[in-house]
Every structure is written in structure tokens, then in C-alpha cells.
Amino acid sequence: MALTNEHIQKRISEKFGEFVSDFAEPYGMLSFTVSKAYNLKVLQFLYDEADLNFRFLTDLCGVNYPDLVDSELAVVYHLHNLQENMRIRFTVYTSIAFPDVFTASKLFSSANWMERETYDFYGVNFLGHPNLKRILNVDEMDYFPLRKEYPLEDQTRIDKDDEMFGRG
């Protein structure tokens, strides 16, 4: 039997019920949201189940949505079933006040550096990570540069001519 998005959604919904939501298929890829307390359980289920067999973590990244109150930070997982050539994506949301998400590095070795990068740029604290520290920014930084907490430009600058940038 060929693996389908409908089958994957059915299996995940049966197992986790209300803890998974927002199923969609943009560009044919199954995408959904998982409660942050269940991210590891969903990952383990997708990995262990023989009919699902999502054993390759393609990508893990962070996103900042400053307008989503208490869900400002997202961790996005991309998984791949290499035998069926199926890809899925799921997202876990957390707040900037409590940016704790369980680490996937014990299940997927590749998650180690991707989680460190997500911590470095967004401040997501991966609980249980073996070596969660900055890898691209200096240790002395007391902020996370990819959070949308600052304006893109300094509006008070007088050394820029807006006409040169097509804004005049």
C-alpha cells in the first residue's frame, strides 16, 4: 500500500487526537500543528510505526511570529520517509516568556546542530539537549537576532536619501 497524506493524518489523529490540529496540504505536503508537550511523542510515533517510517529529519528551524500572543516562536520539523519518498512538516508553537521545547537530538542526531542554531537565533530552549550553546553568534550576545523585536531600519537616520532607494 502506498503511503498517502490521508493515511498519515488518520494515524496521527487516532493516536494524538486533540493534541494535533491545523492539518493542511500546501503544495501536496502534509502539514500540521502539535502541542509542544507532545513534540517528542509525535516524532517517536512517526519514527517507530512501520507503516509511517519517517526516519530522516530533513530540517528543523525556528520562526518568529510577533503578533501571535503566547505563541510567538515556532519550531518547524520537516521529516522524510525515504522508502516512500514522502515528506511531512509539523510545527510546535511556544511563547517567548517560556521558550522550552523538548529536544529531538536523542532520536535524530542531525537535530543537535539544528537545535543549537535555532537556540542561537531565536532563543528556543531545547530541554534535554546535550550541549545547547551558541554556535554562530558570540557568547556575550544578550539577545536573539532573528526575533522581530527591532525595526528593520533606523527611521531617524539623515544620511540616507530615500529617492536613491525608490521611496521618494
As a whole number of angstroms, the distance between CA 36 and CA 19 comes to: 9
The second-level CATH assignment, the architecture, of 5-150 is 2-Layer Sandwich (3.30)
C-alpha cell, 148: 522581530
Sequence ranges of the domains in the chain? 5-150
Pairing of strands 125-127, 30-34: unpaired
Positive or negative torsion for Cα 35, 50, 54, 56: positive
Categorise residue 9: left if φ over 0, alpha if ψ from -120 to 50, beta otherwise: alpha
User: Could you report the per-residue pLDDT of 42-88, keeping only the tens digit for each?
Assistant: 999 999 999 999 999 999 999 999 999 999 999 999 999 999 999 99
pTM: 0.88
